[in-house]
Structure 1
Amino acid sequence: MMTRYQTAINHSNTVPACNRPLIRPLAYHPDSSAYLERLLDQPWAVWLDSGHPFSRHGRFDILSADPISTLITRGATSISQTAEQPPQHSYADPLDLLAELLGPIRAEVPELPFIGGAIGYFGYDLARRWITLPTRAEDADALPELAVGIYDWALIVDHHAQRTVLVGWDVRRLDRWAAQLTAPLAPNQREPFRTLAPAVSNLTATQYQQALARIRDYLIAGDCYQVNFAQCFTAPAVGDAWSAYQRLRACNAAPFGAYLRTPEAAILCSSPERFLQVRGDQVETRPIKGTRPRSSDPLENARLAEALRQSPKDRAENLMIVDLLRNDLGRVCATGSVRVPALFEVEQFARVQHLVSTITGRLAAGRTALDLLRAAFPGGSITGAPKRRAMEIIDELEPQRRGIYCGAIGYLSFDGALDTNIAIRTLVYTPGRVRVWGGGGIVIDSDPDAEYRETYDKVTPLLELLHATNNPT
């Protein structure tokens, strides 16, 4: 029996009778930002940004706005809302509610990564729905743990094929968006983004070192093999987030970037890390563990890359997370299907280079992408191992909850496909302030001074952006 949520998705007789989406070509542009500018005033505007043309890694950009329904989770309560129905409150598992909103899986369109569906964020603290954790850390942002829209249309930009299409399920809405995306661009009258004071960490250097000493005690005692520890930088800010995102992607383009505007926050993400991808029954995760800065001198950069590749500490950190993710994937993948086709590869990004491994698997019969997300959330590369104990230590020693940071941003398509990042290198802009985090994996032989410097290496572009926009007048 079709639920009211499925009815909201398939809400008109203009849905194609074959249950396949309508597809319309639009002009291709190497930079999709002009398309997003035409959507900025729409509710829940979103851009899953491949970083092209600033990043060689990028292929698909996905843009949308004005979802036909939304799902927001705070603590034990989720609220779903459609245009046709009043808000519905539920204490059910948020991912079960999301599955209900998406409805039955539809036919895949092989050339498109996304044919409509859910786009949004899954905050780090959403894990409290499935893992019992202490509640010591302050919930400073007080944002929902989950915020997604169900979008019945999207603009897909394929930079490899140099092709742009509108995909959707309603002729009238597709006509509307085609007209809006091709209309002349109105003059920008938004207030430029600016910070009103320098960004300040929630930990002094001494407090950071004390926390690492405590983590080392836990490691020696055998509580954990690795703990990811982060500090948070906050600055007062005003103005429009879009101008800040344009500067961020120009200086720190990344293959899993995102710009997402919810009613309560703007999220500006330049993540280099894929969390989970599902196409059909094929699963991939690509954890990052190990970081070095990049150098403009090719010889010095090659030396740094080789030092990273051969570093026993970084390889050990990476391998711990590979093993954790193999176990997470094994909970929902077919027996014997989990593989590690790439281990300890050095990849170059805008300002740093990382040690990256790839784990693949095949979903077991009857399992879905949402089962995988639940089983593996949050990503092991930003918790440590074992995951539960590492998260308990994080809650004890980090003064504030992570919120969106270290959660995931991405999509779940109507055809069952999923692609999400790890929400690192991310600015979260709420009324009056902007926050950014930097962290790293701590193991028993970590050098506290080197770990402290690494947190800055990772977020230097974001802190530079905040410093460049600092104008207290």
Structure 2
Amino acid sequence: MITELEFKSLSAQGYNRIPLMVEAFADLETPLSLYLKLAHSKDGGKYSFLLESVVGGERFGRYSFIGLPARTLLRASGFGAEARTEVVTDGVVVETAEGNPLDFIEAYQKRFKVALRPGLPRFCGGLAGYFGYDAVRYIEKKLEATCPPDTLGCPDIMLLQCEELAVIDNLSGKLYLIVYADPNRPEAYSNAKRRLRELRDQLKYSVAAPQVKASAPHPAERSFAKVDYLKAVERAKELIAGGDFMQVQVGQRISKRYTESPLSLYRALRSMNPSPYMFFYNLGDFHVVAASPEILVRQETMGDGQQKVTIRPLAGTRPRGASPELDKAAEVELINDPKERAEHVMLIDLARNDIGRIAKIGTVKVTEAFAVERYSHVMHIVSNVEGTLLDGMTAIDVLKATFPAGTLTGAPKVHAMELIDQLEPIKRGLYGGACGYISYAGDMDVAITIRTGVIKNQMLHVQAAAGVVADSVPELEWKETEAKARALLRAAELVEEGLE
């Protein structure tokens, strides 16, 4: 931990956010147990989060992140003249800004001059939360007026200002507790030290997971009657055949009553469907539970000071086989399917185009192509596209260039989104947007909000889409959406069965 003299020196240099950090051993803990001790114990963890990762479906990523209950959050909603962003501190709206929320968020970040410590993971404080799919209407103005009805009622953007967090190093078994101090506040250094002592003391407490009692299963409802979904696919196929589109993603929402703890759903999901991006957000009025396999975009500072941007398009799907032999047969069929290959090539091109808008000339590369990744219920084709970011670009610039993912829209991208507004009966909300963080250092890592459940008013909402192309079979596209939603629905069933 820095000394008070060092703290005052940093304050004199103009820093208005200074992190204090202590280390502790956590080799006998899990990220979930630490979340329960540090975040969930206060007010049920309102405005807190847990971020985890499983690499290649086999091992946990090096770091897990726990955002302790945030005092300040940003939330945005409305489009066009009605767009506004609110800054909420301790439950009170302290600032309201009219205009484009993305521009406000970019300006808000610049208010903070942060004394970053070398050697820390790329996320050690900043903004964490989500950009809903419909935030694209802040980027593409022609989409402002075509938004379908909103039946969910969540903000279009919600970001927690993370100034107390725990970073778990899953390799070394160490835990880093970090508290940011504002030197302009009285007793800032001593208050931050005291807070760190409190957090260390909380590590000594024993905790229990939320109790789960077996309950009767609840039926699911769909935003689309199956016959109407099939008609929407047929309409998309007609327009594709006419040359208007190459592909269109047509999705549906599945909803069912869910009365148990949202954290229990996350426990079930992370056990049965470990994924590269697993996250649990308690956002007060609602919760977000996810095991997303797909990055939207990652922006990270490299050793030479340059910033690398990565998109990892994931498209082409088959259900998992019931045996190793059937699973391998499904992989061979998937990788050799002309429709799936053509769709995936198109999405690689979209990723190259998106990165090309913000990358230095000659740096955009496909570093991996047509790999197959497996998850609990499905397998996918995946590729990797990278580029070196142009000097002066911010995380919001990167987001504007890449959002939303082409794998959730189709191509041409904006034209496909216009058609989605016509074909899908309800506003997408969080689905198809991005969830993750923008750090104080300027790095960003956001996953596509798929394989994601939103729990609000004791209802679980899960959404999934399928990519429609010229030779799509409508019945198979319907089945693909059902397969993609299955992991979350099965996780809910496990909770209803008592997690036994």
TM (norm. structure 1) is: 0.90
Residue 223 (structure 1) aligned with residue 244 (structure 2): yes
CA contact (8 A) 1:106 1:414 kept: no
Distance in 1 between residues matched to 2:384 and 2:241, nearest whole Å: 29
Q: Secondary structure at the match of 2:340?
A: helix
Question: Which one is further off, 58-67 or 128-137?
Answer: 128-137
Question: What is the match of residue 112 of structure 1?
Answer: 121
Question: What is the match of residue 175 of structure 1?
Answer: 197
When residues 141 and 312 of structure 1 are mapped into structure 2, their CA distance, relative to the original with a 3 A threshold, is same
Q: Secondary structure at the match of 1:462?
A: helix
Aligned pair partner of 2:139 in 130, 154, 163: 130
CA contact (8 A) 2:49 2:281 kept: yes
Cα deviation digits, residues 140-179 of structure 1 (max 9, x gap): 1011000111111321123244433223324333333333
Distance in 2 between residues matched to 1:373 and 1:157, nearest whole Å: 27
Residue 326 (structure 1) aligned with residue 329 (structure 2): no
Please give the residue correspondences for 1:227-306 in structure 2 after superposition, counting only pairs within 5 Å.
Answer: 227-280=248-301, 281-306=307-332
Cα deviation digits, residues 271-310 of structure 1 (max 9, x gap): 0111111111111111110111222422221221122222
Please give the residue correspondences for 1:337-416 in structure 2 after superposition, counting only pairs within 5 Å.
Answer: 337-416=363-442
Q: Note the C-alpha offset of 1:30.
A: 6.5
Question: What is the match of residue 5 of structure 1?
Answer: none
Residue 121 (structure 1) aligned with residue 143 (structure 2): no
Residue 148 (structure 1) aligned with residue 163 (structure 2): no
Distance in 1 between residues matched to 2:294 and 2:281, nearest whole Å: 17
Question: What is the match of residue 84 of structure 2?
Answer: 77
| Unaligned 5+ runs, structure 1 | 1-11
Question: What is the match of residue 20 of structure 2?
Answer: 22
Distance in 2 between residues matched to 1:207 and 1:264, nearest whole Å: 32
Q: Secondary structure at the match of 2:146?
A: coil
CA contact (8 A) 1:152 1:168 kept: yes
When residues 189 and 154 of structure 1 are mapped into structure 2, their CA distance, relative to the original with a 3 A threshold, is closer
Cα deviation digits, residues 26-48 of structure 1 (max 9, x gap): 21356311011121223311011
Aligned pair partner of 2:175 in 144, 164, 177: 164
Give the letter aligned to residue 158 of structure 1: D
Q: Secondary structure at the match of 1:99?
A: helix
Residue 197 (structure 1) aligned with residue 206 (structure 2): no
Cα deviation digits, residues 3-28 of structure 1 (max 9, x gap): xxxxxxxxx99957456633322213
CA contact (8 A) 1:424 1:437 kept: yes
Q: Secondary structure at the match of 1:128?
A: helix
Question: What is the match of residue 8 of structure 1?
Answer: none
Distance in 1 between residues matched to 2:384 and 2:369, nearest whole Å: 6
Aligned pair partner of 1:101 in 73, 85, 108: 108
Aligned residues: 459
Q: Secondary structure at the match of 1:317?
A: helix
When residues 136 and 368 of structure 1 are mapped into structure 2, their CA distance, relative to the original with a 3 A threshold, is closer
When residues 25 and 139 of structure 1 are mapped into structure 2, their CA distance, relative to the original with a 3 A threshold, is same
| Unaligned 5+ runs, structure 2 | 182-191, 302-306
Q: Secondary structure at the match of 1:87?
A: strand
* Aligned residues with identical type, % of pairs: 30
CA contact (8 A) 1:54 1:250 kept: no
Give the letter aligned to residue 199 of structure 2: W
Q: Secondary structure at the match of 1:466?
A: helix
When residues 464 and 364 of structure 1 are mapped into structure 2, their CA distance, relative to the original with a 3 A threshold, is same
Cα deviation digits, residues 190-211 of structure 1 (max 9, x gap): 6769676211222222111111
When residues 161 and 309 of structure 1 are mapped into structure 2, their CA distance, relative to the original with a 3 A threshold, is farther
Distance in 2 between residues matched to 1:13 and 1:441, nearest whole Å: 59
Q: Note the C-alpha offset of 1:49.
A: 1.7
Residue 42 (structure 1) aligned with residue 45 (structure 2): yes
CA contact (8 A) 1:425 1:459 kept: yes
Give the letter aligned to residue 25 of structure 1: E
TM (norm. structure 2) is: 0.85
CA contact (8 A) 1:118 1:150 kept: yes
Q: Secondary structure at the match of 1:115?
A: coil
